[in-house]
Amino acid sequence: MKTNNREFIRLKYIALIILFLFIIIYLVGFSRDIMFVLGIILMGSLYISFQNVVKELYCEMREVIAYAANDQQTIIKDGDLGLLYNEMMRLKKRTVAYEKVIQQEKDKLRQMIEDICHQLKTPLTSISIYNDLLLDGKIQDNYFEEINQQIEKMKYLINSLLTLAKLQSSQIEFEFEYQSIQEVIQLSMQSLQPLIKKTRIQIHIEELETCFYYDESWLQEALSNILKNSLEQTCSRIDITFLEHQQYLKMFIYNDGEAIQKKDLPHIFERFYHTKKQQGVGIGLALSKEIIEKHHGSIQAYNDRNGVVFEILFPRYQMNNKFKVS
């Protein structure tokens, strides 16, 4: 729209000239006829320039409307209308992108609701069956035990989902303290003693007294879920080893159980996802991943040495509002 800009400048100068000439004519005292003729000439020039501007604007408006109507991606580079058109196109692209994100979130929410209903359906069905048997007078001690187990399963599911939702929405504050890695591992082992005794799996922990910043209760929850997952596999041994670096600490939790299928590896940290041989509701590893990431760490799983390895990385930073290298 460079032509339009030049025409506007010309209009401005013509208007100033007209004003200046009329002032001179008025001061000198020319006759009204001369003033009238000069006024007609100058106003004609002003009209012609104004008409050119309007014509240019009209042509460019038609061009913009044509592009918009045809949904063209061509960029109009020059002039105010070009800038307006380009901004409209950018806004349109952002709007489309936002709509895609909103649709993806809707799909995730729908899938989550379906998963929750599916997970609750099994224990509710079991409770309903045992309840019908009790109402029919068929009372056995194990019925009450089964009902209680299913109720505990639902409680665990609901509490885990609430915890995961709070973690993902950053509603939980972490209290980071500089502590030994061995402390949180021992706490995790204590919470799993009944399962360890039941499975009789040997657990070997590398002796390492290194320290870093972590929230004890939450990291215990994360490690307990990972160890529990290994204990529930068909394995005879679990090894916990470490790799120290100035900037980070790596922990490796290895079990000699059956390898995870290749198609399952990318999904094992997803909520409600579990392999055919996994027990539980498939939420423990999702919780562990979220907790570790809140420690600014990362976790991955892979097959190695005829078994499975969970590799966890923790940064060796002070966990305050800002990172500080310890």
Number of H helices and number of E strands within the chain? 8, 9
pLDDT value of position 161: 75
> What strand order describes the sheet that includes 202-205?
202-205, 237-244, 248-255, 307-315, 298-304
In a domain, 85, yes or no: no
The answer as to whether 114 is a domain residue is yes
Domain-embedded: residue 142: yes
| H or E element in which residue 238 lies | strand 237-244
The tally of domains found in the chain comes to 3
**Which of 121-141 are b and which e, b meaning 16 or more Cβ less than 10 Å from the residue's Cβ?**
eebeebbeebeeeeeeeeeee
Task: Let me know whether 292 and 192 are in one domain.
Answer: yes
Task: Answer left, alpha or beta for residue 20, where phi above 0 means left and psi between -120 and 50 means alpha.
Answer: alpha
Read off the pLDDT of residues 135-179 as tens digits, 9 standing for 90 and up. 777 767 677 777 777 777 777 777 777 777 777 777 788 888 888
285 and 156, same structural domain? no
pLDDT of 282 > 80? The answer is no
Which contiguous run of DSSP H or E holds residue 88? helix 79-135
pLDDT of res. 321: 41
Does 79 fall in a domain? Answer: no
The C-alpha atoms of residue 72 and residue 196 are separated, in whole angstroms, by 66
More confident residue, 90 or 245: 245
Q: What is the pLDDT of residue 306?
A: 83
Cα separation values, 202 from 155, 195, 196, 223, 256, Å: 30, 12, 8, 17, 11
Whether residue 248 is found in the same domain as residue 282: yes
Dist CA 85 CA 70 (whole Å): 13
Average pLDDT over residues 14-18: 62
Q: Which of 23, 41, 74 finishes a domain?
A: 74
- Which range marks the domain in which residue 133 is found? 94-168
- Let me know if residue 158 belongs to a domain: yes
- 184 shares a domain with 318: yes
User: Phi and psi (nearest 5°) for 257?
Assistant: -80, -170
Indicate if 208 and 251 belong to the same structural domain.
yes
DSSP secondary structure string, 263-294?
Answer: TTGGGTTSTT---TT--S-S-HHHHHHHHHHH
- The CATH code of the domain that includes 189 is 3.30.565.10
C-beta separation of 274 from 150 below 8 A: no
With respect to residue 80, please indicate whether it lies within any of the assigned structural domains: no
Looking at residue 85, its pLDDT comes to 65
Question: 99-147, pLDDT tens digit by residue?
Answer: 888 887 777 667 666 666 766 777 777 777 777 777 777 767 677 777 7
Contact 249, 316 (CB under 8 A): yes
In a domain, 88, yes or no: no
Same domain (yes/no): 263, 320: yes
Highest mean pLDDT among 6-15, 36-45, 126-135: 126-135
pLDDT at 261 over 80: yes
